[in-house]
Amino acid sequence: MKKIKVGDLIFRIINTCLMLFVIVITIYPFWNQLILSFADREYLYAVEAQWYPKSFNLASYQVILKYKDIWIGYANTIIRTVIGTFLGLLVTAMASYPLTKKDFPGNKVLTFLILFTMLFSGGLIPSYLLMTQQLHLTNSIWALILPSLATPYNIFIMRNFFLSVPDSLEESARIDGAGYFRIFWQLIVPLSKPVLVTVGLWIAVGHWQAWYDNLLYLQDPDQWGLQMILREILVSNQQTNIYQAVRSTFGSAGAVDERQLKSAIIVVSILPMIIVYPFLQKFMHKGIILGAVKG
Per-residue pLDDT tens digits for 142-173: 999 998 888 888 898 888 888 888 888 888 88
Q: Is the dihedral of CA 287, 289, 294, 295 positive or negative?
A: positive
Strands (E), 51-150: none
**What local confidence, expressed as pLDDT, does residue 291 receive?**
46
**Which of 203, 201, 183 has the alpha carbon at shortest distance from 87?**
203
Please report which helix (H) or strand (E) contains residue 157, including its range: helix 152-163
Residue 232 pLDDT: 79
Distance from C-alpha of 211 to C-alpha of 227, rounded to nearest angstrom: 5
Per-residue model confidence (pLDDT) at position 237: 60
Q: Which amino acid is at 79?
A: I
Q: What is the structure's pLDDT at 295?
A: 47
* pLDDT under 50: residue ranges of the chain: 291-295
Instruction: Say how far apart CA 103 and CA 161 lie, in whole Å.
Output: 18
C-beta of residue 287 within 8 angstroms of C-beta of residue 154? no
How much is the pLDDT for 83? 94
Residue 39, amino acid: A
Question: Alpha carbon of 282 to those of 54, 66, 176, 279, 291: distances in Å?
Answer: 35, 37, 34, 7, 15
